[in-house]
Amino acid sequence: MRRTLAFIAILALLASGLAQTQLKVYIGGQQRPDVIGPLLEQFNAENPDIVVTFEVGGATSELQQQYLNTVLTSRSGDIDIFLIDVIRPAQYAASGWAEPLNQFFASDAAMMAYLEDFLPGPIEANLIDGTLYALPAFTDAQFLYYRADLLEKYGFEPPTTWDELKMMALTIQQQEGDPNLQGFNYQGANIEGTVCTFLQALWTAGGDWVDDAGSVTLVTPEARRALAWYDDTLASGITVQNIAEITTDLSRRQFQAGNVVFVLNWGFAWAHFQGSSDVPTAVAGLVGVAPLPSFEGFDSATCIGGWQWAINPYSANTDAAWRVLEYLASPDSQRVLAVEASNIPARKSLYDDPAVLAAAPHFASFYDVIINARSRPVTPFFSDVSLAIRVPMNAFFARQLTADEALREMQQGVEDALDF
Amino acid sequence: MRRRHGPFARVAVVVGTALLVLNGTFPLVWMMLTSLKDENELIRIPITYLPVEPTLKNYVQVFQQLPFDRFMLNSAIVAVTSTVVCVLIAALAGYALGRLNMPYRRALLTLIVTTSMFPALVLLVPLYRMFLGMDVPLLSPLVAALHDLGMRFMPTEVRTPNLLNTYWALIIPYVALSLPIATLILTSFFQLIPRDLESAALVDGCTRVQALFRVIAPVSAPGVVTAAIIIFVNSWNEFVLAMNFNTTMSMRTVPVGITMYQGEFAFPWATISAAITVGVLPLVALILVFQQKIIAGLTAGGVKG
Amino acid sequence: MALTTPTAYRSPGLWRRLRSGNLTEAQLGIILLIPAAAVLLLVMFWPIVQVLWQSLHFERLNLPARGRPFIGLEHFQRMLWGTEMAWSPQHLLGWRLLAFAAVGGLWWGTGRGTVRRRTAVIWTVVALLVAGLWMGFHPGEAGRWGDARFWNAFSITLLVTVASVAGSFLVGLPLALLANVESRWRWLVRIALLIPWAMPRVLVGIMFAWLFNSTNGVINDVLRRLGVEGPLWLARADPAIWATNITIVWATSAFVGLILLAGLQSIDESLYEAAMVDGASPWQRFWQITLPLLRPSIAVALIFRTLTAIQTYDIPYAMTRGGPGRTLETLGIYVANTTNSLNLGYAAALSVALFTMSLAVTVLYLRWIYADD
C-alpha cells in the first residue's frame, strides 16, 4: 500500500515537473542580471507552470554576439529568449533567428495599438516590413554632456550649433589655462560608436547615408561638411590628437575625471558622472545634458541605442516564451528596469511616471532627445555596413585618409555590402 | 654551466638579466601595484606608480562579485586533466616518430601538425555542434538505413551526447589542440637521446617496450616537462572555446571569468588587475616549482651518455 | 627493416608478438600512434572537413534565400585574382614577376640534383611572396585585383609573422641562455620567462593597449619623464604596427624561450668541457656546439611560433580592433570579421588560405629538420 502511494506520489511529482515548461533567458553581463533576476523570479511566482532561468553571458556586445551566432548557427533551441542590440533585429530577421511576433496578437491592428506606447525609434528597428521581431527592453541615445559649472562661469547657454560649441570650447580652454582640459570629446576608435559619431554629424548637416530612392549618398556636400567639422575640431585643438584611440569608456572616464568640457556619449554615462561608478567622479552635480548641436538651420539628431527582447525560433516553447516577453516588455517591468538599473525607458508613458522621475529626474530632459533618435542603417548586412563606415572614419581620425578619400571608401564599402 | 666567465661576460650577463627580467616582470608588477591601489589613483595625471594607500579591497571584490574560486577550480581540473592525457598520448606518439624506424615519418608529423593550422574561431561552430549533440556522420545514416530496412531493434539515429557545460567539452578539444605541439616537442627530444642507452638495455635483455619505460622515460624528462608546461598553459589560457562551450557561471574558466568583470562601457582596472594577479600567480608558481624540481632532480643524476 | 627468417620457422603472429613485446619497429610505431590518431580523427577531423567543404559553397546566413549552392573554387577566384580584371601598370609588373618566378622555377626545377631543386623552390617561393606583396600594396586603379582586403590582410600577416617570429627569437634565445646560467638569480629569470606567457592573450592585448595609451599610458609617461614626447602609439598607423609587434613579441618570446631552454638543458656538459680543454672561446662554443645541437628545439619553436603568428588575432584585435583603419587587419581578424558578418562560405575559404600558408611553411620547416628522410 505504502509503495503504491509512494509510486503515485513520485508520478505526480514527475508529472508536475513535466508539466512545467523550462525556459532560459540569455542576457549579457552588463545588462544588470541583479535586476533582471528578481524580475524573472517574480514571473515564476506568478506563473507556476513556467520556470524561467537565466544565463549570463560575456560582458561586451561582441562576445555576446559571438555566442549567439554560435548557438543560432547550430540551430540550438537551448536558449529561448535573448537580448539583442538595436542594430541586430534586421539581421536576425533575415537569418530567421528571431521568431516573428505578429502571430501572438489578435490582429495587426491590435499589434500596432500595443506598440503605440513605445518610442518610435526602437520600433523602427524592430518592425521590418510589417513584421515585429523583437520588443524593446530599454533604449538609449547619444547626448551632449557639458560642464554646467564652466558654462555658467563664462555665461554660456548650452550650444545649439556646432560653431557655438567650438567657440565656447575654445574660450573655456584658453581662459582656464589647463593644458589637460579638452574642449570636445567623442569616440573615434574602430568601434561601433564611431558609426554614430559620423552619422550624427551627417544628420545634423541635413544629409543621410541613403536617399529616398535607396542609393547610397555618402559622397555629398553634407558628408563633406560633417568631416570638415571633425577636421576642424582636431585642427583647432578642442579635440585631442589621439582621437583614433578614444573608445566610449575612455571618453566617459576623461569627462568623469574633470578633463573635458563637452562630450558626446550614451545614456549610461550620466549615472557614472553622478557617482554611481567604478571610478570616482570629479564632476558630480556639475553636469548638464542637452541634445546634440547641429549646423545652422538644421535639426538636432542623435543615434538610437538600446536592447531588445527576442525569441529563439528554434526553441520548443515559443508560446510560453511569448508570455515571458510580454511580461518583460510590460510597463511594470520596464519601470523596474528604469528605477533600479537606470535604463532609459522605451515606453513613452514612463517618462511621466512619478516613481521613474523620482529615481531618475534627468530622464525628463532625456525625453526630448530620445523622441528624435534615429536608427542606424536598418539592413540585414549591418555588420558589413558598420565596418564600411567605421573603418574609413577611424583611418580619417588617424590622419591616414583625407576626408574625400574616407568618404569615397565609405561609399564603395556600403555599396558593396548592400550589393548582393 | 660551471664556466669561468671573463669580467666583460659577467657584466653583460648581469645587464642582460636585469633587462630581460624587467621586460618580463614589469607588466605583472604594474598589475599587482594597480590592484593594490584605490580607484582614485588610477585616473590621476600624472600617473602614480606605487600605491599611495595600499588596499586589499580589490581582491575582496574579485571574490565577492563573481565566484572566482570556482573559476580557478574549473580551470585547474580542465588544465590538469588535459595535460596528463595529452602528455601520455604525445609521449607514445613522440617515441614512435622520434626513435622508431617509421615509414613516412615526415608526412605523419606534417599531418599531425596540420590540425593546428586552423584558427579556433573557424572550428568553433562545427565543434559546438559536435558537443551539442549531433548525428554521427557515417554511423547514424547507416543505422537509420538498417532500421528502415526492417531491423527494428536498431535505433533510428546515433547521436553524440550533449557535453556542453561539462569539463569534457573543454578537455577533449584541448587535448586535440595541444597534441601537435606536444608531439613535435617530444619527437625532437626522443630523437636526442643517445642510442647507447637503449642498446645497453636491450643487450641486458629488456624488450623494446620495457626499455621504453625503464630507460627512456626518466631520461626524457626535460622534454616531457616542457611539453606538460606548454599544454597546461595553453589549456588554462584558452579563451574562445571556453567562452562559448561552458556558459553557466559555475562552469566558467579563469580567462573568461576575468573578462566578466568588465562591462560594455566600464573597465574596472583595479578589480581586473587583482583578478589577473590571482589568476596568473598560482600558475607561475606551480610551473616554476614543477620545472625546478624535476630539472634539478635530473641534472643531479646527469644526462650523461 | 625486415628480418629474414629461416624457412622452417614461422614467425609468431601479431598477437603473440604483442604479448611478448617483440614487434618490428614499424608495427610498434603504428600501435603507439593509435591514441594520437584516434583523438585527432575524432575531434578535429570532422570540423576540418566541414570547413573545407564549406569553402566550396556559398553561404551567407543573412541571405537564406540564396541557399547553400556549391560554387567550387569561386571564392578562391574572387579572393586571389578577382572576377573582373582591371589592368594597370602595377598589374603588368605583377604579372612579369609571376612569369619570372615561373620561368626561374621551371629552369632550375627541371635540372637534376638537390641543389638545383632547392634553388628552384626558394626562388619560386621568394618570387611569389614578392609578387604577392607587390600586388597587395597596389590593388590597382579600380581596386579590383582580387579581394583588395585579402591582399592587404596577407601583407599585414606576412609583416607581423616575420617581425614577431624574428623578434620572439631575438628575445627568447638570450632569455633561454640566461635562464640556463647557474646563478642566484636563475629563479627570477625563469619567472620573468614564464609570466608573459602565463597571461591570457586577450588580457595581454587589453593591458598593453592601456600601457600604450597616448595620454594616460605608462610608456608615454616614462618617455615624458625622460624628456621625449612619445608618439601617438595606437592612434597612428606606423606606431600602431610597432606597438602591436612589441606586444606580440613580449607575449610569445616566453614560449620560444621555454622550448629553447629545454633544448639547452639537454646539451651534454662534457661537450663544453672538451671544447674548453681544446681552447675554444665562448663565442666559438656557442656557434659550434650550442646552436647546432639546439637545431631541433629551434625548429619546433619556429614551426609553432610561425603557425600562431600566421593566425594572429587576439592581440591586434584587443589593441586596436585591426589597427587605425585597416593597418593591422591580419588574416585572422579578417576571418573573424567575415564570420561575424555571417558570410560563412567566404570565411571558410579564407581559413583554407590560412591553412595553405601554414602548410607550406610547415612542410618547408620539416624538410629542413628532417633533411635526411
pLDDT digits (tens, 9 = 90+) for C74-125: 888 888 776 665 566 666 666 676 777 677 666 665 665 666 666 666 777 7
Higher pLDDT: B267 or C311? It is: C311
| Cβ within 8 Å, pair B265-A58 | no
Going A313 to A314 to A319 to A320, the CA torsion angle's sign is: negative
| pLDDT on residue B134 | 81
| Cβ within 8 Å, pair B45-A30 | no
| pLDDT on residue C84 | 61
Q: What is the mean pLDDT of residues A358-381?
A: 87
Residue in C61, C215, C234 closest to A95 by CB = C61
| pLDDT on residue B289 | 75
> How far is the alpha carbon of B113 from chain A, nearest alpha carbon, in Å?
26
| Cβ within 8 Å, pair C235-A241 | yes
Q: What is the mean pLDDT of residues A132-137?
A: 94
Residues of chain B contacting residue A78, judged by C-beta atoms under 8 Å apart: 132, 164
For domain B66-260, give the CATH number: 1.10.3720.10
Higher pLDDT: C144 or A108? It is: A108
Q: Which of A190, A222, A196, A185 is nearest to A407 (CA)?
A: A222
| Cβ within 8 Å, pair B40-A280 | yes
At C159-184, the pLDDT tens digits run 899 999 999 999 888 888 887 877 77
Residue in C62, C213, C340 closest to A245 by CB = C213
Q: What angle do CA A39, A42, A43 make, to 5 degrees?
A: 90
Q: What is the mean pLDDT of residues C125-130?
A: 73
Name the pLDDT band for A3 (thresholds 50, 70, 90): low
Is the separation of the CB atoms in B128 and B245 below 8 Å? yes
- Mean model confidence pLDDT for chain C: 80
> How far is the alpha carbon of B148 from chain C, nearest alpha carbon, in Å?
26
Q: What is the mean pLDDT of residues C8-36?
A: 71
* pLDDT of C138 above 70: no
Is the separation of the CB atoms in B247 and A57 below 8 Å? yes
Based on the fold, state whether residues C128 and C262 are members of the same structural domain: no
Helices then strands, each counted (H, E), chain C: 17, 0
Look-up: residue for cell 638543458?
C265
C14 in any annotated domain: no
At A136-186, the pLDDT tens digits run 999 999 999 999 999 999 999 999 999 999 999 999 999 998 888 999 999
Rounded-to-integer distance, Cα C247 and Cα C270, Å: 39
> How far is the alpha carbon of B265 from chain A, nearest alpha carbon, in Å?
5
* pLDDT of A214 above 60: yes
The strand pair at A287-290 and A127-128 is best described as unpaired
Q: Could you tell me if B120 lies within 8 Å of chain A, comparing CB atoms?
A: no
The strand pair at A182-185 and A260-266 is best described as parallel
* pLDDT of C9 above 60: no
Interface of C with B in 142-201 (CB under 8 A): 171, 174-175, 178, 180-183, 185, 187-201
Based on the fold, state whether residues C172 and C122 are members of the same structural domain: no
Q: What is the mean pLDDT of residues A313-324?
A: 91
What percent of chain A is predicted at pLDDT more than 70? 95
Residues of chain A contacting residue C339, judged by C-beta atoms under 8 Å apart: 69
Q: What is the mean pLDDT of residues A18-42?
A: 85
CB atoms within 10 A of CB B257: 22
Based on the fold, state whether residues C158 and C115 are members of the same structural domain: no
Q: Could you tell me if C63 lies within 8 Å of chain A, comparing CB atoms?
A: yes
Name the neighbours of A, counting chains with at least 3 Cβ pairs within 8 A.
Answer: B, C
**Amino acid (one-letter) located at C106:** L
Q: Could you tell me if B249 lies within 8 Å of chain A, comparing CB atoms?
A: yes
- Strand, coil or helix: B285: helix
* Neighbouring residues of B168: CB distance < 8 A, sequence distance ≥ 6: none
CB atoms within 10 A of CB C115: 10
| pLDDT on residue C125 | 72
CB atoms within 10 A of CB A107: 9
**For chain C, what is the domain count?**
2
Q: Could you tell me if B220 lies within 8 Å of chain A, comparing CB atoms?
A: no
Lowest mean pLDDT across A377-391, B166-180, C109-123, C333-347: C109-123
Rounded-to-integer distance, Cα C325 and Cα A106, Å: 49
Rounded-to-integer distance, Cα C367 and Cα C371, Å: 5
Q: Which residue of B has its CA nearest to C295?
A: B188
Q: What is the ipTM of this complex?
A: 0.87
Most confident of A359-363, A372-376, B76-80: B76-80
Global pTM exceeds 0.90: no
What percent of chain C is predicted at pLDDT more than 70? 79
Higher pLDDT: C320 or C139? It is: C320
Rounded-to-integer distance, Cα B53 and Cα A205, Å: 50
Based on the fold, state whether residues C233 and C255 are members of the same structural domain: yes
Name the pLDDT band for A188 (thresholds 50, 70, 90): very high
Q: Could you tell me if A392 lies within 8 Å of chain C, comparing CB atoms?
A: yes
> Which of B25, B178, B188, B207 to probe by mutation at the C interface, max C CB count within 10 Å?
B188
* pLDDT of C4 above 80: no
C370 in any annotated domain: no
Rounded-to-integer distance, Cα C369 and Cα C373, Å: 9
Residue C328 has, within 13 A of its CA and on its CB side, a CA count of: 30
| pLDDT on residue B284 | 77
Name the pLDDT band for C143 (thresholds 50, 70, 90): very low
Based on the fold, state whether residues C218 and C290 are members of the same structural domain: yes
Is the separation of the CB atoms in A262 and A185 below 8 Å? yes
* pLDDT of A92 above 90: yes
| pLDDT on residue C154 | 86
Q: What is the DSSP letter of A84?
A: E
Q: Which residue of A has its CA nearest to B38?
A: A279
Q: Which residue of A has its CA nearest to C336?
A: A66
Q: What is the mean pLDDT of residues C187-214?
A: 83
Compute the residue count for chain B. 305
At A290-307, the pLDDT tens digits run 999 999 999 999 999 999
Residues of chain C contacting residue B291, judged by C-beta atoms under 8 Å apart: 190
* Neighbouring residues of A106: CB distance < 8 A, sequence distance ≥ 6: none
* pLDDT of C6 above 60: no
Q: Could you tell me if C22 lies within 8 Å of chain B, comparing CB atoms?
A: yes
Residues of chain C contacting residue A242, judged by C-beta atoms under 8 Å apart: 214-215, 232, 234-235
Based on the fold, state whether residues C154 and C122 are members of the same structural domain: no
| Cβ within 8 Å, pair A395-C321 | no
Q: What is the DSSP letter of A311?
A: E
Q: What angle do CA C341, C343, C346 make, to 5 degrees?
A: 130
Residue in C62, C213, C327 closest to A381 by CB = C62
Name the neighbours of B, counting chains with at least 3 Cβ pairs within 8 A.
Answer: A, C
Based on the fold, state whether residues C232 and C333 are members of the same structural domain: yes
Interface of C with A in 306-325 (CB under 8 A): 320-325
Name the pLDDT band for C355 (thresholds 50, 70, 90): very high
Interface of C with B in 316-335 (CB under 8 A): 332, 335
Query: A56 phi and psi, to 5 degrees?
Result: -100, 125
| pLDDT on residue A101 | 93
DSSP sequence for C220-271: HHHHHHTT-----TTTSHHHHHHHHHHHHHHHHHHHHHHHHHHHHHTS-HHH
Name the pLDDT band for A62 (thresholds 50, 70, 90): confident
Q: Which top CATH class is A141-301+376-418?
A: alpha beta
pLDDT tens, N- to C-terminus, chain B (305 residues): 445 556 777 787 778 778 877 877 787 788 888 888 776 666 565 666 677 777 788 888 888 888 899 999 999 999 999 999 999 999 889 888 887 777 788 888 888 988 888 888 888 988 998 888 887 777 888 888 888 887 777 777 788 888 888 999 999 999 999 999 999 888 888 887 777 777 777 777 667 666 666 676 667 777 888 888 889 989 999 999 999 999 888 899 999 988 888 776 667 778 888 888 888 877 777 777 776 665 554 444 433 33
- Mean model confidence pLDDT for chain A: 89
Residues of chain A contacting residue B245, judged by C-beta atoms under 8 Å apart: none
C20 in any annotated domain: no
Residue in C209, C320, C325 closest to A400 by CB = C325
At B6-26, the pLDDT tens digits run 677 778 777 877 887 787 778
Q: Which of B124, B122, A244 is nearest to C331 (CA)?
A: B122
Question: How deeply is C278 buried, as exposed, middle or buried, from its count of CB atoms within 10 A (0-12, 13-18, 19+)?
Answer: exposed
Residues of chain B contacting residue C307, judged by C-beta atoms under 8 Å apart: 113, 116-117
| Cβ within 8 Å, pair A248-B271 | no
At C253-305, the pLDDT tens digits run 888 988 888 888 777 777 888 888 887 777 777 887 888 888 888 888 999 99
Q: What angle do CA A164, A165, A171 make, to 5 degrees?
A: 90
Is CATH 2.40.37.10 correct for A2-133+305-371? no
> Which of A69, A70, A97, A283 to probe by mutation at the B interface, max B CB count within 10 Å?
A70
And the C-alpha cell for C47? 570540423
CB atoms within 10 A of CB A157: 11
> Which of C27, C34, C44 to probe by mutation at the B interface, max B CB count within 10 Å?
C44
Based on the fold, state whether residues C241 and C216 are members of the same structural domain: yes
Name A81's bridge partners: A25, A311
